Amino acid sequence: MTEIEQTGAKPADRPFDDIRALVTTMPSLSEGFTSDVSTYAGKLGRGLHPLGRLEGPLNAIAHWQDSPAPRLARPLIAVFAGTHGVAKNLSDKDIIAQSKARVASLTEGTAAVRGIAGELGAAFKVYEFGLDYPSEDFTKGASLSERDCAAAIAFGMEVVAEGADVIVLGAAGLGAATAAATMNIALFGGAANYWAGGEGAEARIKAVEAGINTHRGETADPLEALRLFGGRDIAGLVGAIIAARHQRIPVLLDGYVSCAAAAILHAIDPGATDHCQASHLSAEPAHDALLSHLDLTPILDLGVNIGDGTGGALALSVLKAAAAGLTSLKD
């Protein structure tokens, strides 16, 4: 029994119908509400706007929270991890063992994101999506069944019950970047070497090409693209983004994989990701193109090349510092 099955989630006979209903009933920004961010920022530093472009992200956070000023006191950095069957094409090592080692590096090792989270006073949690139960190899068949995909989305939605006022979403799934690249082709078109390129990416490009060829003509529905190529962890990210919107919690997307999850919802309804911001521009070659499709401008561009929440945590630290500058007017 997988960890997803243990939650007791019981999707309907047509599970994706429930997901689509959640997307189409997402709340919008409150009409007529105006935060105080721009007003506060305009009074700082002799009116020279010392916070620069950070006014935009802070204003967006405050808007979704229906708050005059952004609340960043209870952040959650959530990292989603699973094992993708396509990873068998990328390495001759045991993919389950590799996946567990990657998670252990976050939970027991010296991952930078843990130290940053501690400094920020942020909750840091890693959510495992069946590490021992890899999704199917999408070069040969569908990664997930519709029922399993919907169950993973439901499990991801439960993460948002943590009571955070802002959530950073990261990913550490083995093979997740390959799945993300394939999903992006299904959504936006383009070549495998464009979406999955980079130094030493020959095996990944080949796997992406094989996956697209195997499922050609089957990806008109964004949720089908998720099911065919995305593992449980990416489906979980989709669920977390949905649940955050329904609870009006702003989301900082950490890197390529979490942005690919957001792209599934954006393809269903471009407004479905209005509560999301790109925390940073990662070193993944196609991340910039993906952000363009999502109409997102990264808060930071530091060349961070890991998607485990590190870039999101760094962006959060800058936002918290900037928010403290706003509140100085009240002291």
Question: Which of 47, 130, 124 minimizes the C-alpha distance to 82?
Answer: 130
**What is the pTM for the complete model shown?**
0.92
> Could you report the per-residue pLDDT of 17-40, keeping only the tens digit for each?
999 999 999 998 776 566 677 666
> Domain count of the chain?
1
Question: Does the structure show a pLDDT above 80 at 111?
Answer: yes
- Residue 80 pLDDT exceeds 80: yes
74 falls in which pLDDT band (50, 70, 90)?
Answer: very high
- Assigned domain for 27 exists: no
The pLDDT assigned to 323 comes to 86
Residue 60 has pLDDT above 60, yes or no: yes
The answer to whether position 50 is within a domain reads no
Q: Which residues contact 50 (CB under 8 A, 6 or more apart)?
A: 41, 44, 325
- 44 confidence band (pLDDT: 50, 70, 90): low
Note whether residue 67 is domain-resident: no
Mean pLDDT confidence for 219-225: 96
**Is 320 a domain residue?**
yes
Helices 176-188 and 222-229 pack at an angle, to 10 degrees, of 150
Report the pLDDT value the prediction gives residue 174, as an integer from 0 to 100: 95
Contact partners, residue 134, CB within 8 Å, separation at least 6: 82, 83, 84, 85, 87, 95, 96, 99, 231
CATH code of the domain covering residue 93:
3.40.50.10210
Assigned domain for 186 exists: yes
- What does the alpha-carbon distance between residue 129 and residue 229 come to, in Å, rounded to a whole number? 15
Q: Is residue 15 part of a domain?
A: no
Q: Is the pLDDT of residue 47 over 70?
A: no
> pLDDT tens for residues 180-190?
999 999 999 99
Question: For residue 100, is pLDDT > 50?
Answer: yes
Which helix (H) or strand (E) segment is 243 a member of? helix 232-246
- What mean pLDDT is reported for the chain? 89
Residue 326 has pLDDT above 90, yes or no: no
Q: What does the alpha-carbon distance between residue 249 and residue 252 come to, in Å, rounded to a whole number?
A: 10
Confidence (pLDDT) at 12: 45
Instruction: Give me Rg for the CA atoms of the chain.
Output: 19
Strand partners, 125: 78
pLDDT for the residue numbered 67: 85
pLDDT at 197: 83
Is the pLDDT assigned to residue 161 strictly greater than 60?
Answer: yes
* Domain span holding position 242: 3-9+72-327
One DSSP character per residue, 198-233 reads STT-HHHHHHHHHHHHHTTT--SSHHHHHHHH--HH
pLDDT of residue 46: 54
Q: How far is CA 172 from the centre of its chain?
A: 11
Phi, psi torsion values for 124, nearest 5 degrees: -125, 120
Please state which of the ranges 16-20, 44-48, 177-181 shows the lowest mean pLDDT.
44-48
Kindly report, residue by residue over 257-289, the tens digit of the pLDDT.
999 999 999 999 999 999 999 999 998 889 999
On whether residue 100 sits in a domain, the answer given is yes
Phi-psi region of 306 (alpha: psi -120 to 50; beta: other; left: phi over 0): beta
- Tell me the one-letter amino acid at 263: A
pLDDT in tens, 282-307: 988 899 999 999 999 999 999 998 88
Residue 271 counted as domain residue: yes
